[in-house]
Structure 1
Amino acid sequence: MPDFRYEVINTKGKSEKGKLAANSKLEALQILSSRGYIVSSIKQSASHASTRASMFPASQKEVSIFSRQLATMVSSGVRIRDALQVLSTQVFFSRRFRKIVTRVVLDIEGGMSFSESLEKTGVFEPLFTNLVKAGEAGGVLDESLERVADFYEGMVELQNQVKSAMSYPLFMMVFAVGIVGMISFFILPNLIGAFGGNFQPEGAMAILLSMNSILENHWPLLLVMLVGLLIGGYFFFKSRYGNVVKENIGKLIPPIRNLRNMTAMERFTRTTAVLVASGVDLPTVLELAGEVSQSPRVMKAVGNAIIGIKGGESINAALERQKVFPPIVVSMVAVGEETGKLDEVMLKVADFYHMQVQNALKKLVSLVEPIMILFIGGFIGFLAITIYGAVFAMEQSIG
């Protein structure tokens, strides 16, 4: 059983620190709350951490399919162990994911609960494991899995829209690189050779010919380096550290920054809706929603808001004080608090931001396409001017 270090405000209003053994962070929070404490922070002790987050989490597409299939079988009366055994042999999952499911089956056979075995793998997000834990506690695991599936299917749909939107600009970029390569490696050397070896090119022509010479003499090494760079970049951007780098790069470009902010709000509100509907306690809801948003600003604001909420502040007032959440989110949270339908209200806000993200994607693509065309046309025009200038210079040198 792992240990958790906590900092609380006790019944006398004084700050208190200590350590508590519990099966999970959620259980530790429940124990401290039952004692009348207001929890300021709680973290699992590193020396007793039973699991560590994997650098390469499970893909959202596989988690979406996994949760949907599992929810269908569990709601049909299939035992969780048998359902997982069936899913561990499905070929539409990757080999790595099948091995993970097999380990979960073995842990369940060893006496672990489903949620504990998921946490032990370290590849599933806290959102997934906490929803499963809430479903197990309430005896509605099939409903929790349905909510998980709906959530991840929405995330996968958003990812597919982004990939589809960027496919044309990426194709244009590859096309431009191919044109430059053909001109540099085939046209220019033949052009220089046609005028004899006495001509000494200058400027951009000299740079292109130098690159051509380097590639001709060292192409095996450069090819290996390029393949290694592509493979390394692919796995890096699949990792947690790669997500941080992408977040920082996106901040530098205003349209992408606005798109990422709206995406963060969509994730935050949808996660809040799903967790509240599953009966997870509010501090955990906000903490997990902040993590799923993948926005450092939102995570920091949520952390500050949780402290205010535990001190007796209302949710909408605590969020509004952070100056991070848009007025529509704060207003709808207030409505949800008053009506007791926070999950339904947050789901409507999430749908609103989903539409906003779709519109922003369309605008971004419509902006990127002409920019890419202008860039490619300008670069090809530059090469044409460079070649014509070299031809005129060679004619003068021959004359």
Structure 2
Amino acid sequence: MPQTPHNTSSVEKKSVPKLNWLSRHRGIPLTEKIFFIQNLHVMVRTGISLAAALRTLAEQTSHKRFRAVLTDIYGRVEKGTPFARALSAHPNIFPDLMVSMIESGELSGKLDEVLKHVTEQLKKDHELVSKVRGAMLYPAIIVIAMGGIGTAMMVFVIPKLLTIFTEFNAELPLPTRVLIAASNFTTRHGLLLALLAILLIAGARYGIKKTERGKQFFHGLLLRLPLFGGIIKKVNLARISRTFSSLLTTDIPIVQTALITSKTIANIHYRAALIDLSEKLKKGAPVSQVLSAYPHLFPPVVSQLARVGEESGSLDHVLGELASFYEEDVDQIMKNLPSIIEPLLILILGAGVGAMAVAIIMPMYSLTQTI
């Protein structure tokens, strides 16, 4: 049962150990939050009071900032603040999804069951993100290595060859002249190029993160990318379906469910569609009808299954199955992605090295003919 809130702000503030600036602005790893919720579920299920469980977990965690946060939450709960409200005091750590599910559990008296659902949700999110990051790590390393090797060749190797060609007054073919011109420009204006690259990256990041037009353009571009666009859509659909299912399972109203789900999605186009869904659900529109108005974001199978779930009264179960389908699909794609990208990267690397080799060998061959 929820506890009666008290005005305990002064006590609660004292319960938080002082942290330096860096600690305050450092994120809490998702694994820490999973460990916390999972252990809290076990302790509450075995009959340990919520306050005692929070105190124990706060003492056990080795993460300095998270220990301070849990100590603060324990102090609030000990003084009568509902658990969900105590969590909501730290919105950068505990998102609306988690707070709303736990609030529902407190109101219904099923906190232990809801904590189990929250644990499953966090684990699914962690698995999804880990698979995507893991699959993209190898291609990213190859691209960085290619850039580093190319820059080293331009700055250190090509200028030495240029000296040799100059000594012999050799007539250089077009590919060699282009390579030498690029090398000279890189050597002379390397600092300017680096500064320009930094400014472009910083400007792009600002435009993407801070401006609505920049977000719309970039997020739309991501969804249209060959190969990767389809993967990004499936990742978003998996997360939306899983979150929607988890919230409905804990008896959160569907209008609120759509709104909370929108806050868990980074892509601005999916977020706008979910906000629109929330508004139209208030007017009585079915989920399937609203989703079908966004065929570029939600494939027909999503709206069709949503209609089946609505008609059968098991929308949470149907969306859970849909989430599992997309999660398995993404998992399979992530496993196969390196084998798809690797040959492409090798071809690009081979073409670059081959072009550079031809540009170097052609004048050397001419020199041997002259000698």
Q: Normalising by structure 1, what TM-score?
A: 0.71
Tell me if the contact between 1:255 and 1:364 (Cα under 8 Å) persists in the aligned partners: no
1:72 aligns with 2:42: yes
Residue 314 (structure 2) aligns with: 341
1:99 to 60, 68, 71: 68
Change (3 A) 1:116 1:377: same
Report the Cα offset of residue 118 of structure 1: 1.4
1:121 aligns with 2:94: no
1:134 aligns with 2:104: yes
Residue 153 (structure 1) aligns with: 123
Report the Cα offset of residue 251 of structure 1: 2.8
Q: Name the stretch that deviates more: 283-292 or 295-304.
A: 295-304
Report the Cα offset of residue 85 of structure 1: 2.9
1:370 to 339, 343, 349: 343
Residue 329 (structure 1) aligns with: 302
SS of 2:89's equivalent? helix
- Summarize the alignment of residues 1-150 of structure 1 with structure 2, pairs less than 5 Å apart: 58-90=28-60, 93=63, 95-123=64-92, 124-150=94-120
* Separation of aligned partners in 2, 1:285 and 1:198: 76
Residue 303 (structure 1) aligns with: 275
Which one-letter code corresponds to 2:65 in the other structure? R
Which one-letter code corresponds to 1:61 in the other structure? T
Tell me if the contact between 1:70 and 1:84 (Cα under 8 Å) persists in the aligned partners: yes
Tell me if the contact between 2:246 and 2:316 (Cα under 8 Å) persists in the aligned partners: yes
- C-alpha RMSD of the superposition: 4.0
Change (3 A) 1:294 1:196: closer
Tell me if the contact between 2:219 and 2:269 (Cα under 8 Å) persists in the aligned partners: no
- Count of aligned residue pairs for this structure pair: 338
* Separation of aligned partners in 2, 1:135 and 1:253: 41
Higher relative contact order, chain-length normalized (CA < 8 Å, sep 6+): 2
Tell me if the contact between 2:102 and 2:115 (Cα under 8 Å) persists in the aligned partners: yes
Report the Cα offset of residue 183 of structure 1: 2.7
2:183 to 205, 208, 228: 208
Structure with greater proportional strand content: 1
Structure 1 residues 315-372: Cα deviation after superposition (integer angstroms, max 9, x where no partner): 3334334545333222322332333322222111111111222233345443322211
* Separation of aligned partners in 2, 1:103 and 1:390: 72
Structure 1 residues 125-158: Cα deviation after superposition (integer angstroms, max 9, x where no partner): 1101101111111122221111111111111111
Report the Cα offset of residue 282 of structure 1: 1.3
SS of 1:254's equivalent? coil
Which one-letter code corresponds to 1:105 in the other structure? Y
Q: Name the stretch that deviates more: 281-290 or 200-209.
A: 200-209
1:280 aligns with 2:280: no
Q: Normalising by structure 2, what TM-score?
A: 0.75
Report the Cα offset of residue 190 of structure 1: 3.7
